[in-house]
Amino acid sequence: RTKVKALCNRRIIHTYNRAVKRFKGDKELWMQYARHCVKSGSSRAAGKVFARALALHPMNEDLWLAAWSWEFEGNNNTKTARRLAQRSLRAIPKSRKLWLEYFRLEMIYLSKLRGRRKALGIEASDNSEGSSGLGFWQGGVVITIL
């Protein structure tokens, strides 16, 4: 039964591969292909699909977001997700959508780090205060910038 599923999945991926070779400019087709790879658990194929799609469509915000979201949430690879996010911001620096999602990604990442430190018994020091007198978690960075 599992072999049949694997064969079917391989056939679907092969069909998508042929389709994107023929219709390289179809961004929605690339997204469907990537979604299928993610849904079917083909993480290696998903990574390759995102890489190929981004090489062809570097100005597509949704593709960048899907790629880094998958790396962060689906593939549990924070380092690669952050790297992709930063590359997307270099490619499309004026994208409000990407900046907002990047900020959200960094906040989730910091929250994870804080949780790990707490679990290990290493207390995060909030003594590093900016000129506003507030620590990072009290919004000191935002207040300092504003």
pLDDT per position as a tens digit, 18-62: 999 999 999 999 999 999 999 998 889 999 999 999 999 999 999
Total domain count for the chain? 2
Q: Contact 91/59 with Cβ under 8 angstroms?
A: yes
Q: Is residue 97 part of a domain?
A: yes
Mean pLDDT within 114-124: 83
The residue range of the domain holding 103 is: 58-113
> What angle, rounded to 10 degrees, do the helices at 61-69 and 96-119 form?
10
Q: Contact 131/145 with Cβ under 8 angstroms?
A: no
Give the CA count within 13 Å in the CB-facing half-sphere of 44: 1
Q: Are residues 34 and 24 in the same domain?
A: yes
| pTM attached to this predicted model | 0.76
Q: Is residue 133 part of a domain?
A: no
Name the pLDDT band for 146 (thresholds 50, 70, 90): very low
For all residues of the chain together, what is the average pLDDT? 87
pLDDT confidence of residue 134: 54
Q: Are residues 37 and 75 in the same domain?
A: no
Mean pLDDT within 107-126: 82
Take residue 58 and report the two structure tokens written for it: 């570097």
Q: Count of CB atoms within 10 A of residue 146's CB?
A: 7
The mean-pLDDT minimum among 40-49, 71-80, 94-103, 134-143 falls in 134-143
Q: Are residues 68 and 102 in the same domain?
A: yes
Which domain-ending residue is among 35, 57, 79? 57
Q: Are residues 53 and 75 in the same domain?
A: no
Name the pLDDT band for 129 (thresholds 50, 70, 90): very low
In a 3-state reduction of DSSP, which class is residue 76? coil
